[in-house]
Amino acid sequence: MNIRFKLCSLLIFSFMSVTAHAADVSTYSFAGCAFPDTNQSGSYTATFGEDHDYSSSVSTMSFTIHNPVGISSVTVDNRTGLMWVTNPQTDAGFKGAQTWASALTSCTVTLNGMAYAGYMDWRLPNVRELMSIVDYGAAAAPRINTTAFPGTVSSYYWTSTTYVPSTLYAWHVYFSFGFADNNLKTTSAYVRCVRGGP
């Protein structure tokens, strides 16, 4: 029995003993029983089961493009399950940069109004969601998988996250270098909408 299986079993047993009297235990899921990768690279035993024996799904980006030709193309992140507009400029008609308020409207009103790709729950991503598609291994700008997200501009893209110290600002992600920063909501940045997944 390997280390991860033992940990998963212990975790499930401990959780079930604590929640045995809960009204709806079925709402909890241990599917896959995933643990964060430690980046352990050395082997310290001859048996299988150490962390270095497992590939890190966290660091391996994986995308699937649906309807890649024409309007309503979407890219699904196979790690997070998030569904993105593949190329907002050509597929959704978002030409150029927009203010923060306009970016919110483009996702929640424009895309949902046309039931883009058959869905009506599009929105502007929060900062963590948008950072999740930054490719830090990209050799050149833009720092994103350009096969999964063609037409990405090496510039700023809005997030829905307001900058707490001053609500006149919001977070955006700079795909030229792959970092998050904040700017006045009245300035312009590009838009890529997201939804919860298939």
Work out how many domains the chain is built from and give that number.
Answer: 2
pLDDT band, very low/low/confident/very high, at 14 (cuts 50, 70, 90): very low
pLDDT tens, residue by residue, 89-102: 888 888 899 999 99
What pLDDT, on a 0 to 100 scale, did the predictor assign at position 142?
A: 96
In a domain, 180, yes or no: yes
Is 102 inside a domain boundary? yes
Q: Which residue has the higher pLDDT, 33 or 167?
A: 167
Closest of 113, 194, 197, 191 to residue 158, by C-alpha: 191
At 193, phi and psi to the nearest 5?
-85, 160
Strands (E), 27-146: 63-66, 74-77, 83-85
> What element of type H or E holds 100?
helix 100-105
Report the distance separating Cα 197 and Cα 190, nearest Å: 22
Higher-confidence residue of 183 and 2: namely: 183
pLDDT of residue 6: 41
Answer yes or no: is 163 within a domain. yes
Q: Are residues 17 and 70 in the same domain?
A: no
Q: What was the pLDDT predicted at 84?
A: 97
Q: Is the dihedral of CA 33, 39, 44, 47 positive or negative?
A: positive
Is 187 found in the same domain as 96?
yes
First-last CA distance in the chain? 35
Say what percent of the chain tops pLDDT 70: 71
Position 36: which residue type? Answer: P
Is the per-residue pLDDT at 177 higher than 50? yes
pTM for the complete prediction?
A: 0.71
Phi-psi region of 196 (alpha: psi -120 to 50; beta: other; left: phi over 0): alpha
Give the residue numbers spanning the domain of 129: 63-195
Instruction: Tell me if 58 is assigned to some domain.
Output: no
Structure tokens at 42: 């050395």
Q: Which residues, 6+ apart, have CB-to-CB distance to 4 below 8 Å?
A: 33, 35, 49, 54
Least confident of 52-66, 122-136, 159-173: 52-66
Residue 124 has what DSSP assignment?
P
Q: What is the pLDDT of residue 13?
A: 37
- Please say if the pLDDT value at position 179 is more than 80: yes
Does residue 120 surpass a pLDDT of 70?
yes
CA–CA dist 186, 45 (Å, integer): 58
d(CA 24, CA 64): 34
The answer to whether residue 84 sits within a structural domain is yes
Answer yes or no: do 153 and 75 share one domain.
Answer: yes
- Domain co-membership, 39 together with 117: no
DSSP string, 147-166: TTSTT--SSEEEEEEE-TT-
